[in-house]
Homo-oligomer: A and B are copies of this chain.
Amino acid sequence: MRDLVDAPEPMGAGHKKVIIVAGGAGFLGSALCARLLNAGHSIVCVDNLLTGDFANVAHLATNPQFRFIRHDIIAPLRLAGPVDEIYNMACPASPPRYQTDPIHTFRTCVEGSLNLLNLAEEKQARILQSSTSEVYGDPEISLQVESYRGNVNTVGPRACYDEGKRASETLFWEYGAHRGLETRIARIFNTYGPRMHPEDGRVVSNFIVQALRGEALTVYGDGSQTRSFCFVDDLVEGLVRLMASDEKMPVNLGNPGEFTMLELADKVLAKIGSDLPVCFRPLPKDDPRQRCPDISRAKRILGWEPRVSLDRGLDLTIPWFAERLSAERRKGALVS
């Protein structure tokens, strides 16, 4: 995998670790596996392949330091030998996907976290939870700082994910505060890049896929709601730095550059097909109006901030989707 962000490698060549990446065949998980493998560590990639895809890590599987285990973390994971670090990246993350089986989504967040925390305790490993900006729900403040307690509906279509992730933070905090475990909590904001699933359902992949297919771009609501978009390599760098830090309290990781849905649509159209129309559809229930991370803590504690602009990130992402869609077309042509 390309290493777009030439950040300093926090781990010395002499200290190679055994690292579990749960959800390692997903979009973020697979980028993290590649990054850690590239740094010389041994990776145990655990994924139930519910929304993850083995194709995301197939290029890593020839490396003898990479091991793949198909396993659903809702059940306890038993592993022989030492483990130094566990990254919990497991859980469908886009609304259409996590709403397919909401109780399973919730259980992945909660029981999955419990199982991995117990494993970390057994192995005396560090463990990082991929939490999410969704713990802020539909925020009433324009820049979300970690101390903001959120605006989440406990009884609505997004609750299985939002409350599941909130609950997982509580579990991580408890194991960190009262059981002496080295826990980390990353609140991950919107991230994009190669290996996002084309049908993921989130806006960057939606727009790119629609534009590449020559379809109208679907905008929900009036398109004035904002999101921030972090390129995947920046995000992975933040995760690795957070794991290496001493910080047990939640840390926002994301790109504070804020764009409206219409601005994003314009950028994608400018890069792919400017004559395509935009069609508007009703805003889904509980869709947040805005999302933008305050990353002051990450800057201060981790010395981290995103380096890849949205324009550059899109330029790095669009060719991957183009290749993927054309491979699918070739496959479709062969089949039919």
Residues of A within 8 A of B (CB): 102-103, 106-107, 110-111, 114, 135, 137, 149-156, 159-160, 163-164, 166-167, 169-175, 178-179, 185, 249-250
Nearest-Cβ distance from residue A158 to partner chain B, whole angstroms: 10
Q: A105 → chain B, closest Cβ, in Å? A: 9
Q: Which of A107, A150, A167, A178 has the most CB of B within 10 A?
A: A167
A155 B169 Cβ-Cβ under 8 A: yes
Q: Which residues of B contact A163 (CB under 8 A)?
A: 163, 166-167, 169-170
Residues from chain B with Cβ under 8 Å of A150 in the complex: 149, 152, 154
Give Cα distance in the complex from A156 to B159, angstroms. Answer: 21
The CA-CA distance from A21 to B219 in the complex, in Å, is 48
* Interface SS of chain A: helix
Which residue of B149, B160, B169 contacts A151 across the interface (Cβ within 8 Å)?
A: B149
CA distance A116 to B154 in the complex (A): 19
* Contact across chains for A102 and B174 when beta carbons are under 8 A apart: yes
> Distance (Å) between the CB of A74 and the closest chain B CB?
11
Instruction: List 9 contacting pairs A-B, 8 Å CB cutoff, sorted by A.
Output: A103-B171, A149-B154, A154-B173, A154-B250, A155-B250, A160-B170, A160-B174, A163-B163, A167-B167
Which residues of B lie under 8 Å from residue A185 when comparing CB positions?
A: 155
Q: Which residues of B contact A102 (CB under 8 A)?
A: 174, 178
CB distance from A75 to the nearest CB of B (A): 14
Partner of A154, one of B135, B151, B155: B135
- Asked if A154 and B169 make an inter-chain contact with CB atoms under 8 angstroms apart, the answer reads yes
Q: What is the distance, in angstroms, from A294's C-beta to the closest C-beta of chain B?
A: 17
Q: Which of B153, B155, B167, B173 contacts A110 (CB 8 A)?
A: B167
Q: CB-CB < 8 A to A135: which residues of B?
A: 154
Question: Chain B residues with Cβ under 8 A from A151's Cβ?
Answer: 149
Closest 3 CB pairs of A and B: A155-B173, A159-B170, A163-B170
